[in-house]
Amino acid sequence: MIFGAAHIAAGTYVSRLMRLYDYVASANCYKARLLLAQLERPYERVPVDIFGGDTLTDEFAAKNPARSTPVLETDGGRYLQESNAILWYLADGTPFLPEDAFDRAHVLKWLILEQTDVMPGIGGLRFRLLTGRWAPDDPPAVQRRELGRGALAMLEQQLADRAFLVGERHSIADICVYAYTHTAPEAGFDLDEFPAVEQWLRRVEDQPRFVNDLAPYPENARPGAGRSTYG
């Protein structure tokens, strides 16, 4: 499936579209789709069924030995793995990544914190609850919920007196943190307790060319229903 091809100027020679190897229910993949939409970059979307065994093949391992999504195949045929590395690569030279070195460092800080705090504390908990891997009162779920509440409290403090995470301008820091934070209610968090976070979520959604095509987990994501690295 090709996205954004209508934006290629007439007469422009394009040897090959970028390809995004993508799982539609993954918020990590959604980050890349959102930035590509906001950049109006043409690309080919290659669906990957994580729980259908697609990442277990030798062909996929050649693209990403970690067997995770997303993977970006550049128009030059090179492969880039990890969602936040993909965001940085795509945003370089655009308004989504600040030119100022100090602000760029703060963007990097949020890309790191998203993977260490937000993703496991909200996204990882949500995945395991929605697919029946954990019950809400299981000890690992309780531990993850504490991490998620800490992440939301950290965001609440950061956003109490600013519109966006870095430099008062929408950037890939906001895109990357938004992806899992907006799913927090599905992990059992009450965002009414974090009003600054709620208002920031609405500001991100008000940005030009915003899309949210994050899909629910399919039935084969449940334990024992499919074949994947998650079991």
Spell out the domain ranges in the chain: 2-91, 101-205
Relative to beta strand 2-3, strand 43-47 is antiparallel
| Pairing mode, strands 18-22 and 2-3 | unpaired
Q: Each residue of 109-161: pLDDT tens digit?
A: 999 999 999 999 999 999 999 999 999 999 999 999 999 999 999 999 999 99
Each residue's pLDDT tens digit, 68-111: 999 999 999 999 999 999 999 999 999 999 999 999 999 999 99
Cβ neighbourhood burial of 45 (10 Å; 0-12, 13-18, 19+): buried
pTM of the full structure: 0.92
CATH class of 2-91: alpha beta
The CATH class for the domain spanning 101-205 reads mainly alpha
